[in-house]
Amino acid sequence: MRKITTDNVIIGAGTAGLAAYRAIKSANQEAILIEGGSYGTTCARVGCMPSKLLIAAAEAHHTQSRFSQFGIEINVPTTVNGKKVMARVTTERDRFVGFVLEGVDAIPKEDKIVGYARFIHPHQLMVDDHTEITFNKAIIATGSSPVIPPFLQELGERVIVNDDIFSWQDLPRSVAVFGPGVIGLELGQALHRLNVNVSLFGRDNHIGPISDPVVKNEALTIFKDEMNYIPDAQDIKVVRHADKVHIYFTTSDNTQQKIITVDYVVAATGRTPNVSQLNLPALNIELDQRGVPLFDRHTMQCGNSHIFIAGDANHNVPLLHEAADEGKIAGENAISYPNIEKKLRRSAIGVVFSDPQIAIIGQRFADIKRDQIVIGEVNFGNQGRSRVMLKNKGILRVYADKLTGRLLGAEMIGPDAEHLAHLLSWVHQLNLSVNEILALPFYHPVIEEGLRTALRDAQEKINTLSHSQIAA
């Protein structure tokens, strides 16, 4: 049995854990980094980067569908070589993972321990059965794992999670994707555009992270027009027959049972924090109903304890840039503990890399008091630059305080949403009003003019309210 004493221990060497380690070491404090799985971060191995590689291939193939509308004729039909598609995804994915591994390799050997940690005391933990560590402060950065719901678990190897897709050497003929959230929507549409027969199953007409009913209805129309998307599947039953899966279901407007047969089922039904094996009760800190420690998102501290939690493990905002920020905050507060400082959190920004893209910044529609806002809107159907590029689909809605005019948030589906989301999140973090944003430059002809249209709509409504109050 090896015994170690250290000032700080970090459980998990993903994005959050590495950020915490760097913060602590920059202050010349001790830190031990524990990792039980593979090095390389979720983003690089099975998340952001490989999924975007698959999406890029899908976009390249899908582009040809618009050629004829531009007057361009293709005389030779294009085909999708699934093996070559997945070979590029794998090669480029491994390249991104390699960059992360280079950083991990640079960490001194004595600062790294391989194995799975479990707490045995508020200031002690065990790594597997080979190392006991006594520590002053601990940072939990164990990430998350995809969940397979019970009704799919009997399908054996015919049910996979999104992580498994990136180990494919070829594309299958057909899949059913359960869960039209961010992951399911991105991967489902990408596979569809790579000539895989895709059926996307949802419930209660939810789609992506959208909460605005107007934006949601637009998104439902767009994706139902393109692919076999069943947003309100009910009475679902899955049965495996040899190497096929039969899916029986009904819908809210048709009680007659339907059946779809596929090669694989992809469970994109959410992820769960990797905390169940940590023996958190040994820490004497308060846990929520999922067994995740209660924490302050501005300090990453669990209660008033010496324990901090960052990244996907806290199940707050499972995004790479948020995990990096949280890891840094956790590391900095571990350094100064017991003197804890609330840190600035950046304006919320989320993007779904579907086509059209979906974006949400600031406060969501569902979280805003309707009687305190005005809503500015633009439909991209007739927006100039969008029509030029044949990308004229979608709606942007911006939410502004009706008294101060301050931008509170926005939800959208439409062209270049990833770029508009950045512009909106920047001005949101600067606390700018709609009028102040409109004073900034807008070029012509660009998609950003659509944003200006929505802002003008909001400002006109603010002006109307002000005039009516003066008249009253």
DSSP string, 82-113: HHHHHHHHHHHHHHHHHHHHHHHHTS-GGGEE
Pairing of strands 124-127, 131-140: antiparallel
Which of residues 284, 308, 336 is at a domain's end?
336
In a domain, 47, yes or no: yes
Angle (nearest 5°) at CA 379 between 183 and 219 = 25
Tokens of 30: 């001790």
Do 322 and 212 lie in a common domain? no
Give CA–CA dist 10/33, Å, rounded.
Answer: 5
Domains of the chain: total: 3
Pairing of strands 271-273, 117-121: unpaired
Do 280 and 378 lie in a common domain? no
Entry pTM: 0.94
φ and ψ at 39, to 5 degrees?
-70, 150
In a domain, 42, yes or no: yes
Give CA–CA dist 280/287, Å, rounded.
Answer: 8
Give CA–CA dist 15/331, Å, rounded.
Answer: 13
Task: Judge contact between 85 and 194, C-beta under 8 A.
Answer: yes
Give CA–CA dist 322/369, Å, rounded.
Answer: 26
> Averaged over 62-82, what is the pLDDT?
87
Do 14 and 92 lie in a common domain? yes
Residue with tokens 């600067």: 430
In a domain, 172, yes or no: yes
Q: Contacts from 400-403 at CB under 8 Å and sequence distance 24+?
A: 400/373, 400/374, 400/375, 400/376, 400/433, 400/434, 400/458, 400/459, 400/462, 401/372, 401/373, 402/372, 402/373, 402/374, 402/461, 402/462, 402/465, 403/372
Do 134 and 276 lie in a common domain? yes
Report how far apart the first and last C-alpha atoms of the chain are (Å, whole number).
80
Give CA–CA dist 111/290, Å, rounded.
Answer: 31
Task: Judge contact between 288 and 309, C-beta under 8 A.
Answer: no
Do 6 and 138 lie in a common domain? yes
Residue with tokens 């679902």: 236
In a domain, 379, yes or no: yes
Task: Judge contact between 243 and 263, C-beta under 8 A.
Answer: yes
Q: Residue 215: what pLDDT? A: 98
Tokens of 275: 């905390």
**Rounded percentage of the chain residues whose pLDDT exceeds 90:** 86
Q: Count of CB atoms within 10 A of residue 391's CB?
A: 18
DSSP lists the bridge partners of residue 161 as 267
In a domain, 342, yes or no: no
Q: 227: Cβ–Cβ under 8 A, 6 or more apart, which residues?
A: 188, 189, 192, 198, 200
Q: Count of CB atoms within 10 A of residue 86's CB?
A: 23
Q: What is the pLDDT of residues 154-182, one digit of tens each?
A: 999 999 998 899 999 999 999 999 999 99
Do 166 and 246 lie in a common domain? yes
Do 282 and 314 lie in a common domain? yes
Do 249 and 300 lie in a common domain? no
> Averaged over 234-240, what is the pLDDT?
95
Write down the number of H helices and E strands in the chain.
12, 22
Mean pLDDT rounded to a whole number for the chain: 94
Q: What is the pLDDT of residues 415-426, one digit of tens each?
A: 999 999 999 999
Select from 382, 405, 392, 398 the least CA-distant residue to 451: 398
- CATH value at residue 416: 3.30.390.30
Do 276 and 298 lie in a common domain? yes
Q: HSE (CB half, 13 Å, CA atoms) of 154? A: 8
Do 140 and 283 lie in a common domain? yes
Confidence check: pLDDT of 313 > 90: yes
Do 278 and 260 lie in a common domain? no
In a domain, 374, yes or no: yes
Q: What's the pLDDT band for 472 if we cut at 50, 70, 90?
A: low
> Averaged over 354-382, what is the pLDDT?
96
Angle (nearest 5°) at CA 156 between 150 and 162 = 75
Do 174 and 254 lie in a common domain? yes
Q: What is the pLDDT of residues 245-268, one digit of tens each?
A: 999 999 988 889 999 999 999 999
Which of residues 252, 267, 282 is at a domain's end?
267
Domain of 91, in residue numbers: 2-146+272-336
In a domain, 343, yes or no: no
- CATH value at residue 16: 3.50.50.60
In a domain, 105, yes or no: yes
Which of residues 315, 336, 357 is at a domain's end?
336
